[in-house]
Amino acid sequence: MSLLASAADAAYACVRPLVHATDGEAAHNLTLNALQPLPRARRALTSPALATELAGIAFPNPVGLAPGFDKDARVAHAMPHFGFGFVEVGTLTPLPQAGNPRPRLFRLVEDGAVINRMGFNNGGQAAAAERIACLRRYGLAVPLGINIGANKDSADRIADYAKGTAAMAPLADYLTVNISSPNTPGLRALQDKGALEALLDGVAASQGDAAKPVFLKVAPDLEPADIDDIVAVALDKGLAAVIVSNTTIERPPLASRHADEAGGLSGAPLAALALQRLKDFRTASGGALPLVGVGGIATAEQAWERIRAGASLVQIYSAMVFEGPGLAGRIARGLERLAARDGFAKVSDAVGTEG
């Protein structure tokens, strides 16, 4: 882990009580404001054991930043300082939108969880494209994924994804089609087989000459038949990977006073459900479909469990609220140790070896 990440962790430990006493969204914006002036990271945390390849993309290590943290691509340049092996920005919509009314982000400290109903708030794809183009001119230390969505009031959501593909794919190492947020009414209906086929056809037709790998982000709140349909479509359309999973609308027993807030639940209570859905997708695809594991990962052991269950990559976000900004580096180094412990020369050799 870098000296910057270590210093940031130490500082965060001191100010965490104050941060947790602040409105969640305000604290998040303060964090972005603090990170934005940092210099561009020139190297990534990596080693021969950590280096991973997926969809023809070389990842220095398999621990990525999930979307939602850096919606508008303001701090992607700085995140490799903290150990991330890739960064996914967004969700970005064709037009800027304010999102849902505040308050819309809640820390459930007692549960190690977060509930959000942000509603794809972002400054729009055009503004983000300018920032990303600038980043590309100077170089990025890690692969960059761009997560796209539809505007809430769009009359044609499939057309929105086509627009997003045309605008953002040329700037991305991979493109994520997000149809799994619970905070845009009707969006998850695009996971239905017929709608998903039409959506992915529209995305493919909008790629242009330099097509980029397409990842699909799905919800954890799926029935077995839904998983079978999504896997069949993903394989038929040649998707590069499926990201399992987004936040859940389910409510396991929670201790926080915010437990009944509407929105998507992430963090520790999501871990078991997200792991099970990852296993379900692995089983349904027979290992033929690359997977990215996300949801409730806070330790190297949990990340290792996802990898052994079939994830080629993992992503984190909510756990940083409780564990500090250096978490990605700690997980990556922990994965290296766990691979050696279990007799694997590389972390990627362990993908899908459970059972």
The pair of three-digit structure tokens given for residue 198, joined into one six-digit string: 């039409």
CA dihedral 311, 315, 319, 321 (to 10 degrees): 180
Q: Which of 180, 181, 245, 285 is catalytic?
A: 181
Phi, psi of 88 (to 5 degrees): -120, 120
Cis peptide before 220 (omega within 30 of 0): no
Helices 300-309, 271-285: inter-axial angle, 10-degree rounding: 20
Active site residue 181: yes
Catalytic site positions: 181
